[in-house]
Amino acid sequence: FFSPQIINFYMNLLMERSKEKDLPAVHAFNTFFFTKLKTAGYQAVKRWTKKVDIFSVDLLLVPIHLGVHWCLAVVDFRKKTITYYDSMGGINSEACRILLQYLKQESLDKKRKEFDTNGWALLSKKSQEIPQQMNGSDCGMFACKYAECISKDKPINFTQQHMPYFRKRMAWEILHRKLL
């Protein structure tokens, strides 16, 4: 099982790497962001982006914790999509709607203008479209690997069999504070 601290640390590494040339600009939200937004509303999280213009990046990575299960939502400003990734095949249109509403409120608050939702699509990846976990403990690893692939504009083509290697690799990356 992955703690929120591990996921946050890894997301920070992805943000750091996104500053490299030819990679999409990425902002990753803290693992507590979505739960706070969902339960307490925009006012509870509006200061979380005081020093960040989320509209200036290509991708927003939003780790989502569903009690004992990690998923990922991705806002792609280039494609005008909000996509939900669940390694157990769950569909979560509510999470996508909450994030779209957040973008509207954030735009009004920080930019003083309406967020144009025309052409935006809210998607949940189906289980046959993305790798699925075959056990009850790899959801955090899957969420991190989805984020890692997406943040490099690479296809998501790993499997459950890659997880032992990815766990060792992630441990190295965290210890050395550097992505391989």
Give 22-44 pLDDT, tens digit per residue. 999 999 999 999 999 999 999 99
Determine the pLDDT at residue 2: 83
DSSP class per residue in 42-55: HHHHGGGGTT--GG
Determine the pLDDT at residue 1: 67
Determine the pLDDT at residue 157: 94
Determine the pLDDT at residue 92: 95
User: What's the pTM value of the predicted model, to 2 decimals?
Assistant: 0.96
Among the options 71, 96, 139, 144, which is catalytic?
139
What value does the mean pLDDT take over residues 56-69?
96
* Strands, sheet with 26-28, edge to edge from the N-terminal-most edge strand: 26-28, 59-65, 70-76, 81-85, 121-124
Say if residues 144 and 170 touch (Cβ distance below 8 Å).
yes
> Can you give the residue range of the structural domain that contains 91?
4-176
Q: How many domains does the chain have?
A: 1
Among the options 58, 69, 149, 162, which is catalytic?
69
What value does the mean pLDDT take over residues 156-180?
96
d(CA 100, CA 120): 9
pLDDT in tens, 88-138: 999 999 999 999 999 999 999 999 999 999 999 999 999 999 999 999 999
Average pLDDT of the chain, as a whole number: 97
Is position 86 annotated as part of the catalytic site? yes
Among the options 71, 76, 86, 96, which is catalytic?
86
d(CA 82, CA 121): 6
Is position 139 annotated as part of the catalytic site? yes
pLDDT-based confidence at residue 85 (cuts at 50, 70, 90): very high
Is position 138 annotated as part of the catalytic site? no
Q: What is the CATH number of the domain that holds 152?
A: 3.40.395.10
User: In percent, how much of the chain has pLDDT > 70?
Assistant: 99
